Amino acid sequence: MSDVISTRLKKEEIDELNEISAKEHLDRSALMRKFLLQQIKEYSLRKVSEKYRKGIISLAEAATLVKVTIYDMMEYCKREQIRPIEPDSSELAKDRTNAEDIFRKLKEEK
């Protein structure tokens, strides 16, 4: 099911849309839909990549939330120069200790 959404645009904006529509061989409503969907995707990528940058979610989780491949998410982060926060040395030491404990328990079980 689809709904109709209307918006007001200035004459210059409509003229510009008409020009693009002719160049793209799309009717104006199809062009508007294309532009709107691109912006929705861009908005989603921006919001989710911010969570990735803060270390709240992984890159794979970010891709899943935006419904893109992990490669698309990687490309977006590369293009926008988004990198996760580096963990500090105490976090790395705690992770290492936890991993060593897990491996020791697994060895003992054998």
Q: Are the C-beta atoms of 77 and 59 separated by less than 8 Å? A: yes
Inside any domain, residue 5: no
% of the chain with per-residue pLDDT over 70 = 99
Q: What pLDDT does residue 67 have? A: 95
- Measured in degrees and rounded to the nearest 5, phi and psi for residue 81 equal 55, 50
The total number of structural domains in the chain stands at 1
- pLDDT, mean of residues 29-49: 95
pLDDT tens-digit profile of 54-96?
Answer: 989 999 999 999 999 999 999 999 999 998 877 777 777 888 8
Inside any domain, residue 3: no
**48, exposed or middle or buried, with CB in 10 Å at 0-12, 13-18, 19+?**
buried
The range of the structural domain enclosing residue 93 comes to 11-109
Inside any domain, residue 84: yes
